[in-house]
Structure 1
């Protein structure tokens, strides 16, 4: 399989190719092929990354860098730069909070609320750039997957809002086309008298939940947004899920209420990002405490954790094969839960995670089993699965087994056992030999404590004398204890006989 990651430390992109079962923490395992390109330094690290597929069928890597730079790179090696746009943010330290490509339109949004849309069908045309101001602050931005004129955004002390771009329209003659190229070219942005401005109108705005048990206002801080049930035909009926920096997952039905229909605090730590699952009834979330989990939006419960991370997870990406997507839609329409049957080798729904521990981890999205683990060597700010096809091994790698695997050193042809290996061998011997009595256990503990002061040479006579003396002392104390017990029992029995005579 092939995965793209963005390294925050160097501001570069890395293309990683590897099969399932890869684990770079074990030397004997297969090692990945890593190609580094597009280095720009930490001051211009990648904040957002997506894959943009144009109507010509050509795919490009689209990235948004710190400093207001948006670039397109060829997805095939040697990853030559295709086009670059500068000064997309103002001021220059403004951060990108959203980068979306929907039906030929590339949308970027910053924390100050500057929204810029470009039509990638005419990239060379400098007049195809349109912008508007959504107001600040904004921490999350999302474009509807099937309606590029519908946007959702929110942030710190700013509730979720859904707006429509009024001067973006669908061509009537292309509304019933089925091909991907026709669909992407059916939307166009009409010019307005004020120039290249976007005219947006608010469709819906959320309302805060009721006060807490102390009658205090619940703070608002939206960190990510996802549209659900995107195949709805209504232009004003949306189902949206959001995550907050206060550990909440909330689901909104715009048709019925401004308040969330589901509001669950899934943890005590801030949530960072959301990623879709194979059906619209569940969502994947991650927080600042190395937690990545699946959340059921129907019953409000966790569906299981994707374990293994040792630090905060900063980026997520889900991969769904074409057959899996069609089957998931069919199951969802029939009301059945998705299953893993009927998939060919390599056609697995996957989840990629990356963060502070500098590891890229690939999970089976359904079973939550880790299928690959790659050390990247830099903090990851973005991840994207390009190709998820790979031969599935007969035995999947276990994260617990990979973490317990110890390095080995060789001196003069001999093998030195590491501390972890000695502990495992000792545990195995105890299990095979059964439980030992208390005297032998105490004897081993005393010998272990005394071992630091006695030379470890097997031929040391002084060490043997120490062990013999220790055994003699223990044997003497044991005999004395038995004699005292016998004497106590005899006196007790004699006193009882005297009482019966009286």
Structure 2
């Protein structure tokens, strides 16, 4: 499995608990999991790199455990308890120096050391948290947001109170309160601004440096809840996806839609732009991994992975595929060895056909008597 994991440039977490790796270059997909413990409790909700060299992968599951996967060996090397299932699923997983940051739906944001089974520090980000993200430039700062839980930016060195708390939107033209529902967020590079997408199909940009706590930019896309966003390397636009499989690129300077990415047929659950190439990967309910070009918005790669997908993580290496198909995308050959082993290990139940024959013969005799 180590040779297979080294080939993978894209990693995905599924509802079935299977960690999936995709090699765009070789157009292959692989499953990495322990088939004996495969259950819905092992559903993967979040993914992140464990080290800058990308030799370790951290994944958070529904049962509150964080697993470490070695991309060099192709095996899971560590499992640790970092939460309680009663507190909700993981909404964020990040690495800060030698510590691991976790956040769950109940708002418990914890810092864990490698050699400790108890959190070093803990803060309460409020209820119904949908996403926690770390500032890549300032690792001590993280952002949180959720349903009726506006954007908050925290300094982990001073976790008593947030350093920034977004103010609710102004009332509408009927003087009715406008609800807010942060579904995803990201820190814009080279500045202190934060962009969020909401369950009310809105995109907001906040500037913690300015005295204004309301959004400095408001934009809307579509009519359905936005579920995920990601920032390209340029930093002047944002890619957003919604529950209907619509993905668009929005300009962060004017708030206008630059274009839409076509080909998706199910709700989008995760998006990630490549760190150096103009590419964006998407996954969701339709069980496909898709990689689009942000330059011409064409579909570059498309791989069917059999399971509903929750999260996607790209490596820093360049994504280069083989020949394109008729639809402009390279179809990936999917190898589901691990899943096949699960079905092969099950006991075979043979149907008893004697009862069926006897019941059918009795029915025929009754029909004959009625005719007579």
Tell me the TM-score normalised to structure 1 length.
Answer: 0.60
On the 8 A contact 1:370/1:397 being kept in 2, the answer is no
Shift in Å, 1:267: 1.6
Match among 82, 91, 111 for residue 117 of structure 1: 111
Partner of 2:214: 259
1:349 corresponds to 2:355: no
Q: Once superposed, what is the RMSD of the aligned Cα atoms?
A: 2.4
Cα separation, partners in 2 of 1:266 and 1:371, compared to 1, 3 Å: same
Partner of 1:83: 78
Shift in Å, 1:320: 2.1
Match among 60, 68, 73 for residue 72 of structure 1: 68
Distance 1:125 1:218 in 2: 43
1:207 corresponds to 2:167: yes
Cα separation, partners in 2 of 1:355 and 1:128, compared to 1, 3 Å: closer
Q: Which has the higher contact order (CA 8 A, sep 6+)?
A: 2
Shift in Å, 1:131: 2.4
Distance 2:171 2:119 in 1: 46
Match among 324, 327, 333 for residue 399 of structure 1: 327
Distance 1:41 1:132 in 2: 31
Match among 286, 290, 302 for residue 245 of structure 2: 290
Secondary structure at the counterpart of residue 213 of structure 2: coil
Tell me the TM-score normalised to structure 2 length.
Answer: 0.79
Give the number of aligned pairs.
321
Distance 1:111 1:401 in 2: 36
Distance 2:127 2:319 in 1: 44
On the 8 A contact 2:87/2:104 being kept in 1, the answer is no
Partner of 1:106: 100
Distance 2:214 2:181 in 1: 15
Higher Rg: 1
Partner of 1:220: 180
Partner of 1:318: 273
Partner of 2:298: 369
Shift in Å, 1:132: 2.7
On the 8 A contact 1:3/1:387 being kept in 2, the answer is no
State the Cα deviation string for residues 174-223 of structure 1 (Å, max 9, x = none).
Answer: xxxxxxxxxxxxxxxxxxxxxxxxx4322121112221122211111110
Match among 85, 90, 94 for residue 96 of structure 1: 90
State the Cα deviation string for residues 440-483 of structure 1 (Å, max 9, x = none).
Answer: xxxxxxxxxxxxxxxxxxxxxxxxxxxxxxxxxxxxxxxxxxxx
Bigger strand fraction: 2
Cα separation, partners in 2 of 1:75 and 1:267, compared to 1, 3 Å: same
On the 8 A contact 2:249/2:258 being kept in 1, the answer is yes
1:17 corresponds to 2:8: no
Cα separation, partners in 2 of 1:398 and 1:286, compared to 1, 3 Å: farther
On the 8 A contact 1:113/1:137 being kept in 2, the answer is yes
1:132 corresponds to 2:123: yes
Secondary structure at the counterpart of residue 41 of structure 2: helix
Cα separation, partners in 2 of 1:111 and 1:357, compared to 1, 3 Å: same
State the Cα deviation string for residues 137-189 of structure 1 (Å, max 9, x = none).
Answer: 2112122212222222121112211222235xxxxxxxxxxxxxxxxxxxxxx
On the 8 A contact 1:139/1:222 being kept in 2, the answer is yes
State the Cα deviation string for residues 288-337 of structure 1 (Å, max 9, x = none).
Answer: 0111111101111111111101111111122123xxxxxxxxxxxxxxxx
Shift in Å, 1:241: 0.6
Partner of 2:4: none
Match among 207, 226, 230 for residue 275 of structure 1: 230
Cα separation, partners in 2 of 1:2 and 1:207, compared to 1, 3 Å: same
1:5 corresponds to 2:1: no
On the 8 A contact 1:73/1:83 being kept in 2, the answer is yes
Distance 1:159 1:382 in 2: 23
Shift in Å, 1:401: 8.7
Distance 1:355 1:58 in 2: 24
Cα separation, partners in 2 of 1:260 and 1:74, compared to 1, 3 Å: same
Cα separation, partners in 2 of 1:366 and 1:128, compared to 1, 3 Å: same
On the 8 A contact 1:112/1:136 being kept in 2, the answer is yes
Distance 1:357 1:127 in 2: 38
Partner of 1:41: 39
Cα separation, partners in 2 of 1:206 and 1:85, compared to 1, 3 Å: same
1:250 corresponds to 2:241: no
Distance 1:303 1:75 in 2: 36
Partner of 2:352: none
Shift in Å, 1:90: 3.4
On the 8 A contact 2:17/2:33 being kept in 1, the answer is no
Bigger helix fraction: 1
Distance 1:290 1:92 in 2: 30
Shift in Å, 1:398: 5.3
Shift in Å, 1:366: 2.6
Distance 2:126 2:303 in 1: 40
Shift in Å, 1:44: 2.1
Shift in Å, 1:126: 4.3
Distance 1:375 1:113 in 2: 34
